[in-house]
Structure formats: C-alpha cells, structure tokens
Amino acid sequence: MYKNYIKIALRNLLKNRVFSAANIIGLTLAFGVSILLVMTAMFELSYDQFHQKKDSIYQIYLSNQTTKGTRISTVNPIPLAPSLRDEVGGIKHITRSLSQGDLITYEGKDFDLDSEYVDPDFFEIFSYPSIAGNIENPLPDKNSVALTESTAEKLFGSADPIGKTIMLNRGDEEKPFAVSSVLKDVPTNSSVDFEILVPFENHPEYAPNIDTWESYNHLVYLELEEGVNVAQFEENTRNFTNLHYKNSIDDAIRDGAQADENGQFKQFYLLPYTNVAFVSYADGVAKVSRSFPYMILGIALLIIFIASANFINMNIALSERRLKEVGMRKTLGAFKRQLFVQFWSESLLVFLISLVLGLVMANLLLNPFKTLFDTQATFANIVQPKILLGFSISLLIITFIAGGYPALLVSKLTTLRALKGKWELGKNRLRNALIIVQFVIAIVLISGTLVLHSQIQFMRNKDLGYNKEQVISIPLNGKKNGYRVVDLLREELAGNPNILGVSGADINLGRGRDGSVSTSKWGFDYKERFVGTNILTVDHGYLETLDIDLLSGRAFSKEHNETASLIINEAMAKELGEDNPLSVQIHDDNSTYSVVGVIQDYHFQRLNKEIEPLTLLMNEEWDLYYAYVKIAPSAIAESYDTVKAAWQKIEPQAEFLGSFLDENVDRTFNREKKMATMVTSASVLGIILSCIGLFAMAMLVVSQRTKEIGIRKVIGASVSSVAALLTKDFLKLVGLAFLIAAPIAWYIMDGWLQSYAFRVKLGPLIFVMAGLLAAVIAFIAVGSRTVKAASANPIKSLRTE
C-alpha cells in the first residue's frame, strides 16, 4: 500500500513540475539557510555551558549608590577575594582572574600571548582540563605556568614542554617560569580566553596593592558551599562591605547619594556564570539579554514559515486540480483515511527531498558562512536531542497541514461534486492570510535592514572629535619601554614630509588588531564631594597628532614639567562645576594637580555611550601601550609601509599590528555589522521565497481564469486592463501587509535604537520605502506571469479545457 502511495506521489510531482520545483527550491533555500542560522544561534547560546559546575559558579559584582544613581563595578581590589574567603561564610572556592597580553621569550624568539592571572582555586571552579604534566595541580607554585596545547606547540614544536623555562617580560625585566602543565585548548564558546595561565601573585600590580582597597583591576569568581543560596550570601556580605568600603560609603553619604531598598550604599551581588556572556550593566542593573541569538533563531523560524506558507498555499490550490482523481477514488471505495495518507505522504516526500538538499547546501556554504559572520559554530551545535525532536515535530505538523488540510476538505465533498470538479475553498481566506503574513515578515525584515544600515553608516560618518582617517594606531607589544619606542619612532620618522606627528597613550581608541578594549578610572575629593573621571596617560603631541581641539589653556609641552598637569574634556569641566576650569587644583594622595587645558569632548568610548568625563595626564611611571602616527592624506599607502618598516627596525622581534583609527572604530560595532548582514540576508531570502509563492499562485490563478481572460479580450479588454485585473488582488494583500508591518517594525527598531546614546532618527520614509520595495518586487513577480497570460491569443484561451 505504502509503495503505491509513493508511486502516485512521484507521478504527481512530475506532473506538476513547475510547482514541485518551486516548492523544492523554496524549501531547500529555507532549510539550508535556517540550518546555518540555528547552528550559529545555538553556538552563541552554548557559551560557558561546558563547565561541569556551570550551575554553581558565580561572578561577583558591586552595586554602588552615587549622586547620579546606581553604578555597577565588576573589577575588584586585590585583597577582596582572600578577605571574602576568611570573613564571609559559604564560599567553597574563590579565584581572582585578570586578563592581559604578555610578551614571552623562549630561545631568543618573542611571542605575544593572552595571559590569565589566576589563583589555585581556578581549576577547582572551571573545567579547563590538564592533559600533560601536573594533572592534579596545574600551577603547583608561583614560579610555574600552564600553557594551552596549541600554545605549547607554537613555542616548543613537537618537543615535550614540561619543565621547559620561558621568560615573561616586564618592561626592562625578564622573569623565568617553568612550564608545569599543558591544558586542552580553550573552547571557542568560553568567556575566559587565554593561551597561558600565570599565578596571580606574579602580576605587577599585586605586591604594591596587596592591602589596597581603592585599586580595581580584576574579576572574581566563586563557588558556594552546598546549602548556601545566593540571597543568603549577598546578605552575609553587607557587614563586610560596610567595614572595608567605609571611606567610600561615607563619601557617598556626604555627597547626597541615596541608599538602596536595603539601606545599603554598596552591595555585592552574584551573577550566574552562564549569564556572563550576555550581561550588560546599563542603568546600574545587571541585565541579562540573549536577544542576539534569539533574534537569529527568530529569523530562521520566519524563513521556514515563509517557505512553509508557500508550500501550504500551493498544495491547497493544486488540490482543486485533483478533484476528479478524488471522485474516482471515492467511487472505487477509497476511505477518508486513505485520501489523507496519500496527500500527506506527498507533502512529506517533498519535505524530505528538500531537507536532504538543504543539508547539502548548508554543508557547501558552511565555511563562507563562518567567515562572513565570524562564528565558530559547527553542525555539532544542532545535533542535539531537543533540537532534533523539535524539528521532527515541526516537520510533521507542517506536512500534516499542507497535505492533511486539502485532504480533509476534498474528502468531505460528495462523489458527484468531486467528479464535476466543483470546490468552493472558502473564498481563499487561508491563502490570503498566509500571503499577508509572509509579506508582513518580509516588510519588517526590510525595514530592519534599512534601519540597521542607517545606524551603522551614522556611526561610521559621525564626527568623533578626532582625526580617524589619517592616524595609525600601533600596539607596543615589544620588549622596549613604551616611551622609548615612541621616541625612537619620532627619530626614525623625522624628516619624512608624509609623517605629520607621533605620540602615544596607554589606552587605544576603538578596537585595534590586538583586540584590547580597556578603560581606567580615577576618583578623588573636590570641594568636599567625590568626583570620578576616566583617565588617559599620554605623551607629548597627543592632541596635535589626533587633531583634538583645545578650547582653552595649553597642550602638554616639553618646555614644562607636566607630572602635575592635567588636561580635561568639556564633560569633566562640567563635572567640576567651575566657571574657570583652569583655576582648578586637585589634591590626591599627597599630590597636587593643576588643570592646564580644556579640550573638546571626543568619543573615546563606544558610540552607544554618552561622552563621560576624561582627564589626560603625563606620568612616566605608567607606561604607554599604543603609539599614534599621523600621516599625510596624499600618500597613505606609502606612509603606512614607511611606519611599518620603522617599527620593524625598532622592534624586530615583535609583530606589527598597526591599523588606522577608522578601522579600529569600525571594529567596535562588529556585532551591529553581523546583525545587519544577517537581517539583510534574511530580507533578501524572505522576499525571494515570498515571490516564488506569489509567482506560483499567479500561475494557478491564471490557469483557473484562462477562459475568462479569453472572453474579456474578445470583447475588447486591453492587455494592461487584464493584467491589472489579475494583479490587483495580490497587491491589495501586500498593501494590507504593509499597514500591519509598519507599526511592528517601528516598535522593534525604536526599542533597539534606545541602546545607543547617539542614533539615527526614525522617520516614516524608511518604512514607506520598505513597503514600496516589497510592492514593486511583488508586482514584478505576479505581473510577469499575468502580462504573459493577458497577451496570449484569446482563441487558445477559449479552447482551453
């Protein structure tokens, strides 16, 4: 029996070749792209899920009440972790963790490695297994290090790394470390990424700040003892916080800060570690949002829906062609169940063929997809019982609707009506509803694409307050002192007319090729109130090299001793609240600083943040980590090569990672670009799938109204009037879809833009453009078929049976 069902199904597919091809092509595209999107979403959602204790690991953060509301701090003072262990109960394991880049030397070769400075409990909390050397205790003493497998191969090749001595560079000093263990490579879906692990007490900030509660530079992770819940622990830390942060709490009270609902001015909270990759601290609250991977899943589902709607529509419409077949089957004694199984088996066959082709397509596109969307996702991310079960259930439901619904309708017809081919399909309500929903989705996606690209272009073209097109940023990743490297670059490039300036700073603008993004904060008392500011250590010529406007006062100069001089931005001047900021003197740690200049506000952070107070200073005790070289616009490529050659002469063992500042800024919104690419791709695919469905439906409508078309032409109707008659019903559906989609798209995109301090303004033009684009594409898809039908010889139309 089932063999007979399959034979008939194949015959029907071949008989309706155009519609079968439309269905299979549409579903194949939908399956192929959706598999890749679901794979990416599941990879994003899998972050930090590989740790065996993932459900009992927490990151600690501190909520601070200030005069400007609640502020969150995730970095902590060095004595915090050991003090918490000793003074607050309920902690089973706790570790500090500090990420930074280090220069490692072995046998005269230099290597830039991502270091993680950790405590012994790091291995009790996290699952980074050791595969060679000291398995049980990968860091047995303070002079040992652990390498990842690929790092060990990079340093030592095929030789056994255990026991080998490497040198870790600290400015002009080198310290030897013995390799005690080799770890498995860090999974790509890990929030903590490193190449080498170093005992925490070896960090240069450790010894000078071992008892300092005002210096913040690392994260703290912990595991609670069994029976201790998060709320208990957070409550237990209140007395501890009031004791160790008493001075800053007193300052907050003095300045007029309001306590939280528990009467606290500082409160420790625990964030589940599985949320770390998805948290933001906007508005002083830890907000966990998995909107990006869920958006990807939503796009995948919408694409599947559009293709499935096409499939259902065409199956229902094609069923009218099979009424005589159904009548004959019923005459010969066929039961309703048999009709249902026949129709359903045909739908299932199309789906299975499309699914196989979709898997082939996804496999062929995997590498280009990973490159385009910068993801490490693999098919292993979707080969999970829950996903496979959900997909199987969805497949059965869709095929039951596509095959079962028409079968249910035709099985209710009397044999006589079926043989006559008479079928009133509820005035095509289901078909029209599905077409409307398809185009609602398509218009929302097109609107999202236009808004996303507008926001990206806005961020790219916005005046950031500094010269980003002509300035090269170079991470100082060699052995030499940063100030020395900047001076050597000045000397090496002096006299070159294409080099217009050289300077340096301790923090980069944007995200350079080294991937580092950091900030430094400074707080002090001014006129009996606390003032906080971002700080930036710079070298001479910083303002001139970056073309930052000086509003008043002077820039740093070699003619002055600048160790006690400060330059502030406009936001900092407002924070100080003085009519003449150049009169300000700041007393801190037995030192007095004078403001000597005020600069225009410039975007030293991401564009989704308001410009915060910033203070520039010169202090050679704090090293420079980036050099800036300003070049002439007339010889950009040549000048870049000149700068690279100079760098390689000064630091021959270090990799040159120079990049223009506009590239750095562009990297800060990689996520937005990835989102825009995905939404754009989904929009294009959604329109293509919708038009495939419209084209096929237009063919069916034309075939059903062939004689009507012939009669109209015989009595004098023009080609354009006949084409308009056949097209207008579909365009009405697109117009209705626009009325539904426009407010939905506006609501979604307005909510998304609220996360940006600087953003484009939403106007009706964007949504009108999206609707018009959808209408034009739909008109082309339907009109191409209807014009052909309207142009046909009416005699042939009237002869059509």
The CA angle 439-444-447, to the nearest 5 degrees, is 125
The mean pLDDT value for 201-225 works out to 90
Answer with the residue of higher pLDDT: 173 or 62: 62
Q: 331-345, 606-620, 646-660: lowest mean pLDDT where?
A: 331-345
Q: 22-26, 90-94, 785-789: lowest mean pLDDT where?
A: 785-789
Phi-psi region of 527 (alpha: psi -120 to 50; beta: other; left: phi over 0): left
Q: Would you state the structure tokens that stand for residue 71, as one six-digit string?
A: 């502020």
The mean pLDDT value for 226-251 works out to 91
Answer with the residue of higher pLDDT: 463 or 381: 463
The mean pLDDT value for 168-194 works out to 89
pLDDT value for 426: 46
- Compute the distance between CA of residue 288 and CA of residue 47 in angstroms, rounded to an integer: 13
Share of the chain above pLDDT 90, in %: 40
pLDDT value for 601: 94
pLDDT value for 282: 75
pLDDT at 605 over 50: yes
Share of the chain above pLDDT 70, in %: 85
pLDDT value for 425: 47
Q: What is the mean pLDDT of the chain?
A: 85
Residues near 426 by beta carbon (within 8 Å), at least 6 away in sequence: none
Confidence of residue 713 (pLDDT cuts 50, 70, 90): low
Confidence of residue 227 (pLDDT cuts 50, 70, 90): confident
Answer with the residue of higher pLDDT: 444 or 405: 444
Confidence of residue 415 (pLDDT cuts 50, 70, 90): low
Positive or negative torsion for Cα 317, 323, 329, 333: positive
Structure-token match 């990973």, residue found: 370
Answer with the residue of higher pLDDT: 519 or 795: 519
Answer with the residue of higher pLDDT: 696 or 239: 239
Paired residues of 177 in beta bridges: 166
3-state secondary structure of 442: helix
Q: 350-354, 597-601, 677-681, 691-695: lowest mean pLDDT where?
A: 691-695
Q: 170-179, 444-453, 565-574, 633-642: lowest mean pLDDT where?
A: 170-179
734 φ/ψ angles, rounded to the nearest 5 degrees: -65, -40
Tally the C-alpha atoms within 13 A of residue 179's C-alpha that lie toward its C-beta.
29
Answer with the residue of higher pLDDT: 797 or 731: 731
The mean pLDDT value for 159-186 works out to 90
Tens of pLDDT, residue by residue over 619-642, are 888 889 999 999 999 888 899 999
pLDDT value for 174: 85
Cα diameter, the chain? 107
pLDDT value for 323: 57
- Compute the distance between CA of residue 752 and CA of residue 734 in angstroms, rounded to an integer: 26
pLDDT value for 587: 87
The mean pLDDT value for 364-371 works out to 88
The mean pLDDT value for 595-615 works out to 91
CB atoms within 10 A of CB 589: 6
pLDDT at 333 over 70: no
pLDDT value for 728: 79
User: Hey, which bits of 264-372 come out as E strands?
Assistant: 266-272, 279-280, 287-288
Q: 207-216, 278-287, 418-427, 676-685: lowest mean pLDDT where?
A: 418-427
Paired residues of 166 in beta bridges: 177
Q: 203-217, 232-246, 412-426: lowest mean pLDDT where?
A: 412-426
Tally the C-alpha atoms within 13 A of residue 65's C-alpha that lie toward its C-beta.
21
pLDDT value for 6: 66
- Closest CA relative to residue 791, chosen from 719, 720, 698: 719
User: Hey, which bits of 406-539 come out as E strands?
Assistant: 471-475, 499-505, 521-525, 530-537
Answer with the residue of higher pLDDT: 88 or 427: 88
The mean pLDDT value for 232-261 works out to 91
Answer with the residue of higher pLDDT: 66 or 340: 66
* Cα pseudo-dihedral 366, 371, 377, 382, rounded to 10: -30
- Compute the distance between CA of residue 452 and CA of residue 221 in angstroms, rounded to an integer: 36
Confidence of residue 223 (pLDDT cuts 50, 70, 90): very high
pLDDT value for 617: 93
- Kindly report each contact of residues 486-492 with a partner whose C-beta sits within 8 Å and lies 24 or more positions away, as own/partner: 486/539, 486/624, 486/627, 488/650, 489/627, 489/629, 489/643, 489/646, 489/647, 489/650, 492/646, 492/649, 492/650
Answer with the residue of higher pLDDT: 267 or 426: 267
- Compute the distance between CA of residue 133 and CA of residue 156 in angstroms, rounded to an integer: 15
- Per DSSP bridges, beta strands 130-133 and 173-183 are antiparallel
Answer with the residue of higher pLDDT: 762 or 405: 762
3-state secondary structure of 100: strand
Q: 98-102, 164-168, 548-552: lowest mean pLDDT where?
A: 98-102
pLDDT value for 677: 85
Answer with the residue of higher pLDDT: 383 or 762: 762
Scanning 16-94, the segments in alpha helix (DSSP H) are 17-45, 80-87
Confidence of residue 286 (pLDDT cuts 50, 70, 90): confident
pLDDT value for 797: 55
The CA angle 60-64-66, to the nearest 5 degrees, is 165
The mean pLDDT value for 119-140 works out to 93
pLDDT value for 427: 46
The mean pLDDT value for 240-253 works out to 91
Answer with the residue of higher pLDDT: 73 or 778: 73
pLDDT at 404 over 70: no
Name the pTM for this structure: 0.82
pLDDT at 398 over 70: yes
The mean pLDDT value for 133-158 works out to 93
- Compute the distance between CA of residue 99 and CA of residue 112 in angstroms, rounded to an integer: 13
- Closest CA relative to residue 79, chosen from 218, 237, 181: 218
Answer with the residue of higher pLDDT: 43 or 15: 43
The mean pLDDT value for 340-361 works out to 81
3-state secondary structure of 118: strand
Confidence of residue 340 (pLDDT cuts 50, 70, 90): low
